[in-house]
């Protein structure tokens, strides 16, 4: 139950980040809603396409549609206020990243794929929505450039695999995995940790 | 029979729009053909990947290849003349949008997915090819920015779902759905209807 | 055995080309590795998604992960030296293109799809990784612009289909197909063959 609520919060936050980017790119109302939906559902759709789950779960669960659409409409109406909530958005985005990575990794493990495959698919589920958002807006995906983003997802996916294989209860695995992703991401933001850039190309 | 002819016209028109954009981006002959094919077949391929139809129908029906390649070659040879036919291209594009949305929604319904899933997948089938075209040419997809484009597709998808569920004959559903999409899109073009942009960002 | 070694070389080379492009775009260490992986595995993943092979083979074979990651890390550490090896990189890229096209076409044929479908999917497997690399870095895919690239892949795919259908041994088909792709590509580079650009738009 808690997990469902957290997952819906993650969907809302990802939708809001997509909608905010779309508003800034001057897309119209419908474009804002479509981009919000794509950002919220994109990671899960990629996960299901790779795993062969047809049609993707995100497209067959109506709450997965209503929540992101509502969040996108809210951003459209109140974008100056939302833009001011920068810290809250980053916090929520980190929580969403953790939740989607954990649920993606667990879903993949359930289909019986090898451990490292589950990690890769879980990571894709966590960062895929944001990558699609940036692609559609013609940006080099932030997830490839920003401080410790995909790496945080990878760390959480590894925890989920190890925890599941060593027999922890599923709920504990989920909570610990998601917490680790969010914590790594938030600490990286706070301390401005960055992965290194190649020699001779530092700014 | 009429529907097959209309669908081939839709393929030719979508291929022409992709080829024309590719010619303007100075792609070479082969790039023009590939982009024409991608624009024509992209929506149907996305639809089939989401629905789990392997391999996608578009890749296993030879007329679906020959017609777009022919259209792309025609555009390559006669692009100044095609560019002058701006009205005809927009008209044909609206017809293609209607046909692909309707056939996508009907295909999805046939696999037994929920109604709103069929709408989303039908809309994706209608606008997917144009979105891929713009992505490959490094543009923010026009379908997210242009006057009432994806919204027209959504309206037609809803009509197909409602019509099918209330027992109309399939041919009637297809004709009415496609007509509505094309009509909404053409009226929006003619009257320059646009969905609103967020406050404070109007041009 | 020889084919496996060649395939691993192809993966390493494609990963290196993605990593080199990522280093130049100033992505950080993790972004460089992700882009190297995407370039190396992207074509095979697209192939498997289109054919309905779940999860994609590239994600379930650990050597397919280790080799590209190693190549990307090598490029990250020694990119000035790698950039100097321009000829070697182009040569290896042509070999990789040939190998991925041939293995993609053969995989598709094995699933029983029609001949031209196998050609299209084989071509996608060959050029898909490079196209994803360019998309993520916000470039118009080079494979659509560069001298005889996709066309070389198409030629090799046709050879594989004809050879298989006329009963040649599989190993012979693979070697001849891959050699033709690489040779066409290298001769095109050497003689600077280009497909024509539409009239009135030559530079």
pLDDT digits (tens, 9 = 90+) for B102-115: 989 998 998 889 99
* Cross-chain CB nearest to C50 (options B29, B55, B79): B55
Q: Chains touching chain C at 3 or more Cβ pairs under 8 angstroms?
A: A, B
Looking at chain A, the whole-number percentage of residues with pLDDT higher than 70 is 94
**Count of beta carbons in the 10 Å neighbourhood of residue A164:** 20
- Euclidean distance between CA atoms B35 and B103, whole angstroms: 22
Chain C, 91 to 150: residues with Cβ < 8 Å from chain B are 108, 111, 113-114, 116-117, 120-121, 131, 135, 138-141, 144-145, 148, 150
Inter-chain CB proximity A30 and B141 less than 8 Å = no
Calculate the dihedral angle through the C-alpha atoms of C18, C21, C23, C24, rounding to the nearest 10 degrees.
Answer: 180
Inter-chain CB proximity C196 and B28 less than 8 Å = yes
Q: Chains touching chain A at 3 or more Cβ pairs under 8 angstroms?
A: B, C
Burial pattern C169-194, b for ≥16 Cβ within 10 A else e, equals eeeebbbbbbebbbebbbebbeeeee
Residue C46 touches chain A, beta carbons under 8 Å: no
pLDDT at C25: 83
* Cβ atoms A68, A14 nearer than 8 A: yes
- In chain A, residues with a C-beta closer than 8 Å to the C-beta of B144 are 22, 27, 30-31, 34-35, 136
Identify the three-state secondary structure at position A195. Answer: coil
pLDDT at B81: 76
* Cβ atoms A129, A147 nearer than 8 A: no
pLDDT at C29: 85
Inter-chain CB proximity C31 and A145 less than 8 Å = yes
- Euclidean distance between CA atoms C197 and C203, whole angstroms: 9
Residue B27 touches chain C, beta carbons under 8 Å: yes
- In chain A, residues with a C-beta closer than 8 Å to the C-beta of B46 are none
For A48, nearest residue in chain B (alpha carbons) = B50
- DSSP-assigned beta bridge partners for residue A36: none
Chain C, 170 to 189: residues with Cβ < 8 Å from chain A are none
Inter-chain CB proximity B30 and C197 less than 8 Å = no
pLDDT at B24: 82
Sorting pLDDT into bands at 50, 70 and 90, what band is C202?
A: low
Inter-chain CB proximity A117 and C30 less than 8 Å = no
For C121, nearest residue in chain B (alpha carbons) = B59
pLDDT at A139: 76
pLDDT at A58: 84
Identify the three-state secondary structure at position B197. Answer: strand
Inter-chain CB proximity C26 and A141 less than 8 Å = no
Residue C60 touches chain A, beta carbons under 8 Å: yes
Inter-chain CB proximity C140 and B137 less than 8 Å = yes
Contacts of B3-10 spanning 24+ positions with Cβ under 8 A: B3/B99, B3/B171, B3/B174, B6/B95, B6/B99, B6/B178, B7/B99, B7/B100, B7/B103, B8/B63, B8/B67, B9/B92, B9/B95, B9/B96, B9/B99, B10/B92, B10/B95, B10/B96, B10/B97, B10/B99, B10/B100
More confident residue, C177 or A82: C177
* Cross-chain CB nearest to B114 (options A27, A56, A60): A60
Q: A77: distance to nearest CA of chain B, Å?
A: 7
More confident residue, C155 or C92: C155
pLDDT at A146: 64
Mean pLDDT of B76-88: 77
pLDDT at A80: 79
Inter-chain CB proximity B138 and A136 less than 8 Å = no
What are A138-196's pLDDT values in tens digits? 777 777 766 678 888 999 999 999 999 998 888 889 889 999 999 998 888 887 776 67
* Cβ atoms C39, C96 nearer than 8 A: no
| DSSP string across C136-157 | HTT---GGGTSTTSHHHHHHHH
Inter-chain CB proximity A144 and C31 less than 8 Å = yes
For A109, nearest residue in chain C (alpha carbons) = C55
- Euclidean distance between CA atoms C14 and C20, whole angstroms: 10
Q: C175: distance to nearest CA of chain B, Å?
A: 25
Token look-up 């997802």 returns A153
**pLDDT beyond 70 at B202:** no
Q: C154: distance to nearest CA of chain A, Å?
A: 26
What are B27-78's pLDDT values in tens digits? 888 888 989 999 999 999 999 999 988 889 888 888 889 999 999 999 888 8
Q: Which residues contact C19 (CB under 8 A, 6 or more apart)?
A: C32, C33, C35, C36, C39, C71, C72, C75, C76, C79
Sorting pLDDT into bands at 50, 70 and 90, what band is A118?
A: very high
Q: A117: distance to nearest CA of chain C, Å?
A: 5
pLDDT at C201: 62
């Amino acid at each position: 139950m808690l997990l469902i609520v957290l997952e819906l919060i993650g969907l809302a936050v990802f939708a809001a980040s997509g909608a905010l980017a779309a508003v800034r790119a001057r897309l119209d109302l419908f474009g804002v809603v479509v981009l919000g939906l794509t950002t919220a559902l994109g990671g899960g759709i990629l996960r299901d396409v790779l795993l062969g789950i047809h049609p993707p779960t995100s497209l067959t669960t109506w709450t997965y549609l209503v929540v992101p659409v509502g969040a996108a409409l809210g951003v459209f109406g109140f974008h100056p206020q939302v833009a001011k909530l920068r810290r809250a958005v980053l916090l929520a985005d980190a929580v969403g990243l953790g939740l989607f990575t954990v649920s993606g990794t667990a879903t993949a493990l359930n289909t019986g794929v090898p451990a490292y495959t589950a990690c890769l698919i879980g990571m894709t589920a966590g960062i895929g929505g944001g990558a699609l958002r940036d692609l559609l807006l013609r940006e080099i995906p932030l997830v490839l450039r920003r401080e410790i983003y995909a790496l945080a997802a990878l760390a959480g996916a590894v925890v989920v695999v190890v925890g599941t294989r060593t027999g922890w209860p599923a709920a504990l695995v989920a909570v610990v995995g998601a917490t680790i992703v969010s914590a790594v991401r938030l600490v990286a933001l706070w301390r401005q940790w960055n992965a290194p850039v190649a020699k001779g190309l530092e700014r």
